[in-house]
Amino acid sequence: MAFRLKLVPDETKIDFFRYAPATFGFSVVMVLASIVLVVVMGLNFGIDFRGGTTIRTESVQPVDVGAYRAAIAPLDLGDVSITEVFDPTFGPEQNVAMIRIQAQEGTEAVTPEIINSVEAALQAVDPSVTFPSVESVGPKVSGELIWTAIIAVLSATAAILVYIWLRFEWQFAVGAVVALIHDVTVTVGIFSLLQIKFDLAIIAALLTILGYSINDTVVVFDRLRENLIKYKKMELRDVMNLSVNETLSRTVMTSGTTLIALIALLVLGGDVIRGFVFAMTWGIVVGTYSSVYVAKNVVLFLGVKRDWSKTDGDSPAGTQFGKSGG
């Protein structure tokens, strides 16, 4: 007999909407708190969005942030951020730091002469220091990237809205988009709270989260549509509970296996992709939550018309549920 792993029983009867006002209220609070955090604390924009130069240093000696800062201070470069990079995959003689220098006024990027001066100043403090990578982005380009990123996220959300509207009903489309807005806003909020670097990789993560979240939502919506036709007399709330329970095993297995891979990357993947992986990990958790406790709550609040009146001939007045009245 083959072994079959079961994380969820074949039949569950969890009342996901028992505390609907509390769960939806919690989501509203998280969204509002995220907006306040972004307004008050702002985002720790990476070099992609701020403009300037990022120098990555590596040394066999421990990183002395104070000494690095003192060495660079005489160069009068304005806003300079120095952070030590910690990673469990680094060896004992692999000490890494990131030095971010703002774009200088009147220039598109930090000049090679300034970069050479910074490197020379750091080598005077630590002769063993090397510079594996130097990245520069001009302020004009970074400003364009911000708007391009916003347009990309909004366009993806709008396309999903149209798809769900055509595939199901407008109530489903509204619920799905509200859940997506919830996911993106809360993810951006946690980046503001923790001041994790926010760059183009995080925008890619946000777009991936949109796709993953809507996939999970559509699976439950599709089962809900089938059950609405099958159980014509059952209350909408009960049909929604049944649908979520019937797809719960699939949701747990999909999210669980994805999280295993993401957690492995988060721990062992290195600092270069850590921001992206953190955004994905957080997004999977929030996206799974919102598929049930945000999207479905919105549909439950708006209701779904199931007793469609007939118009001329035999054509129903509705769409998918036109023949399910009863």
**CATH code of the domain in which 297 resides:** 1.20.1640.10
Residue 82 domain-assigned? yes
pLDDT for the residue 208: 87
Cα separation, 62 vs 107, in Å, equals 33
pLDDT for the residue 5: 59
Q: Closest Cα partner for 32 from 171, 146, 181? A: 181
The full DSSP string for 155-175 is: HHHHHHHHHHHHHS-HHHHHH
65 and 105: one domain? yes
Cα separation, 71 vs 80, in Å, equals 12
108 and 244: one domain? no
Residue 7 domain-assigned? no
Q: How many domains does the chain have?
A: 2
101 and 211: one domain? no
Q: Closest Cα partner for 100 from 197, 242, 222, 225? A: 197
Residue 320 domain-assigned? no
Q: Closest Cα partner for 304 from 203, 188, 214, 225? A: 225
pLDDT for the residue 193: 93
35 and 159: one domain? yes
CA end-to-end span of the chain, whole Å?
45
Which helix (H) or strand (E) segment is 117 a member of?
Answer: helix 112-125
147 and 285: one domain? yes
Domain boundary residue, one of 137, 154, 189 = 137
Cα separation, 89 vs 221, in Å, equals 42
> Distance from CA of residue 16 to its chain's centroid?
24
167 and 35: one domain? yes
Cα separation, 123 vs 111, in Å, equals 19
279 and 165: one domain? yes
3-state secondary structure of 255: helix
Residue 148 domain-assigned? yes
Hey, what are 88's tokens?
């469990």
145 and 225: one domain? yes
pLDDT for the residue 320: 43
Residue 325 domain-assigned? no
pLDDT for the residue 282: 93
Residue 57 contacts residue 131 (beta carbons within 8 Å): yes
Report pTM: 0.73
Residue 29 domain-assigned? yes
170 and 24: one domain? yes
Mean pLDDT, contiguous 10-residue spans, the chain (326 residues): 58 80 91 95 80 85 87 81 80 84 66 86 89 76 77 86 82 88 93 88 87 84 85 85 86 86 85 86 90 86 63 40 37
Cα separation, 20 vs 22, in Å, equals 5
Domain boundary residue, one of 137, 166, 181 = 137
Beta strands in the chain (DSSP E): 44-45, 52-59, 80-85, 95-102, 130-137, 197-198
297 and 222: one domain? yes
Range of the domain at 149: 20-44+141-302
The CATH number of whichever domain residue 99 belongs to comes to 3.30.70.2040
168 and 237: one domain? yes
pLDDT for the residue 322: 36
Domain boundary residue, one of 82, 110, 137 = 137
Amino acid at 186: V
Q: Closest Cα partner for 292 from 30, 4, 16? A: 16
Residue 123 domain-assigned? yes
296 and 247: one domain? yes
Residue 289 domain-assigned? yes
